[in-house]
Amino acid sequence: MSPNGRRVLPVRNPYTGAVDYEITPPVPAELARTCDRLRAAQREWGSAPLEHRIAVMSRWADELEKAYGPLSAADYADTGGCLISLVSPRIAVGNVRGWAADAPKVLAEAARSGVSSIMPSISFSTQLVPYPLVGVISPWNGPLLLSLLDPVPALFAGSAVIVKPSEVAPRFAEPLMETIRAVPELAEVFTFIDGDGQTGQELIEQVDVVCFTGSVPNGRKVAQACASRLIPAYLELGGKDPAIVTASADLDKAATAVLRGAAFGTGQVCFSVERIYVHEDVHDEFTDILVRKAVHVRLNFPDIDDGEIGPFGFDRQARVADEHLADAVAKGAVVKCGGPSRVLGGGHFMRPTVLTEVNHDMLMMREESFAPFMPVMRYRTEDEAVALANDSHYGLSASVLAGTAEEATRIGERINAGTVSLQDTFLTLFKTRDIGTNSFGDSGLGGDRTGPASILRFLRKKALLTQSAPPAPLARQGRPGGPDAKAGT
């Protein structure tokens, strides 16, 4: 607690283990004032022509490009040297410029006008009205990238936006705010605040829409809080993504894809591969190839700029991973390479870990591990592979690697997941604004987070109905066949 009574939260460096940063959440009254300011400014922002918002956002994209170095460095520190930090600012710029190009067409196509199919004297048109204030609660993995995924279309839609990034990875927010402050019109309607779960709860009480990315348990709490206020909640939650490798697949290519999909970012990606089902005829050969590739993946220790695998971004996640691994081994799993996490220089590291003799009684095959695990399980028939893949309360994404694209598609169409990568893994990033998807099971709630419709989440549709005939009277017009009918009254 600071001398003025404000909370001060220490922030651990995931690479060194040292507490080298701190944040100070706003007190509730301060948060309320910030939200009131954003709401007041949103009225002009939302009523301005779309062309104005496009011009302002395009200037911000210029600022983001100029700030690549500080943004990447801060995100790199937040993630302990994750390679995604090297491209996150550029992906963010592409997202802004892409929506600048796409928003006019998407919003124009969403507008409707015409004549009522029930009453020809009534014509209609639509008005798209932005929600005044969107609240975003973003996660600690991919902090810069994921903190901007929802705000960008919301701003183009005409909403004001307030973002609370994770208290585990908040360093990127200040250099990002510098780019926002460089565009005064944007700074009036877009800001970031520091804070933890308590701050997130307070934020939900102040906004009109919530976008949350995080775990299923926390997502349930957010959904309940939003339901109590009757406001929309868009949730992207956990995953336990399966990958199916058929007997006809190119095993070398399949192993490369699975390794990247499971170990990129230390497996701390919601659409990481976490379960692998391989046809029994090629199980052993595939596993041998996967192990040979996995043992050559390097930790980025002792040089943060050398190696492919960084530390766990959140030390608590290392403990979860170790619990899952210990549970699997106790139930008969065989570790082919890798093993438990290790503390190196203060960071918690884990090498890519391949296991066999796994089954669905193990935590590793049921719950999100968020670790570079590659548990490989045999299957006999295509029906069995699909059943195993669908035997989960998650349904975010999946992968199929087969001998032909046709075979992969046939299997992929049977898997319950919002996104299915065929002949590769980890393709979810490339949906961008092209296609929207829905999560299955407990992996999410709400409308499209990607694709053209993702901007429409932040707009309420209003119908304007015009009557060209005289208004209908309330008085009865007579019963059919009654005396009034003969008189014509």
Same domain, 258 and 197: no
Dihedral, CA of residue 203, residue 396, residue 152 and residue 12, to nearest 10 = 60
Residue 156 lies in a domain: yes
Amino acid identity, position 445: L
Name the domain count of the chain: 2
Mean pLDDT, range 347-376, rounded to an integer? 97
Same domain, 22 and 157: yes
Give the residue carrying structure tokens 């994209």.
61
The predicted-structure confidence for 39-76, as pLDDT tens digits, reads as follows 999 999 999 999 999 999 999 999 999 999 999 999 99
Same domain, 110 and 143: yes
pLDDT of residue 433: 79
- State phi, psi for 172 to the nearest 5 degrees: -70, -20
Residue 3 lies in a domain: no
Residue 471 lies in a domain: no
- The answer to whether the predicted template modeling score (pTM) of the entire model surpasses 0.85 is yes
Question: Active-site residue 226, yes or no?
Answer: no
Contact between 35 and 162 (Cβ < 8 Å): yes
Quick check: bond before 302 cis, omega within 30?
yes
Instruction: Check which CATH number belongs to the domain holding 371 and give it.
Output: 3.40.309.10
Q: What 3-state class would DSSP assign to 40?
A: helix
DSSP notation for 292-349:
HHHTT--B--S-TTSSSB---SSHHHHHHHHHHHHHHHHTT-EEEE--S-EEETTEEE
Give the residue carrying structure tokens 């766990």.
312
pLDDT of residue 417: 96
Q: Is pLDDT above 90 for 427?
A: yes
The predicted-structure confidence for 164-210, as pLDDT tens digits, reads as follows 999 999 999 999 999 999 999 999 999 999 999 999 999 999 999 99
Q: Is pLDDT above 60 for 485?
A: no
341: CB partners within 8 A, 6+ apart: 312, 318, 321, 322, 348, 349, 350
Same domain, 28 and 131: yes
Catalytic residue among 35, 82, 211, 270: 270
Contact between 466 and 124 (Cβ < 8 Å): yes
pLDDT of residue 3: 59
Residue 489 lies in a domain: no
Residue 189 lies in a domain: yes
Give 489's pLDDT tier (boundaries 50, 70, 90).
very low
Same domain, 233 and 256: no
The rounded distance, in Å, linking the Cα atoms of 360 and 170 is: 36
pLDDT of residue 414: 98
Residue 481 lies in a domain: no
Same domain, 118 and 140: yes
Same domain, 174 and 98: yes
Same domain, 228 and 374: no
**Percent share of the chain, pLDDT over 70:** 97
Mean pLDDT, range 325-331, rounded to an integer? 98
Mean pLDDT, range 19-32, rounded to an integer? 96
Q: Which of 414, 435, 456 is the last residue of a domain?
A: 435
Same domain, 295 and 203: no
Same domain, 230 and 348: no
Residue 210 lies in a domain: yes
Instruction: Check which CATH number belongs to the domain holding 174 and give it.
Output: 3.40.605.10
Residue 110 lies in a domain: yes
Same domain, 181 and 328: no
The predicted-structure confidence for 105-146, as pLDDT tens digits, reads as follows 999 999 999 999 999 999 999 999 999 999 999 999 999 999
pLDDT averaged over every residue in the chain: 95
- Which residue range forms the structural domain that includes residue 197? 9-237+443-466
Same domain, 153 and 279: no
Q: Is pLDDT above 80 for 478?
A: no
Contact between 309 and 349 (Cβ < 8 Å): yes
Q: How far is CA 474 from CA 132, 471, 477, 478, in A?
A: 38, 9, 9, 12
Contact between 198 and 137 (Cβ < 8 Å): no
The rounded distance, in Å, linking the Cα atoms of 326 and 345 is: 24
The predicted-structure confidence for 366-386, as pLDDT tens digits, reads as follows 999 999 999 999 999 999 999
| CA 331 to centroid of chain Cα atoms | 33
pLDDT of residue 219: 95
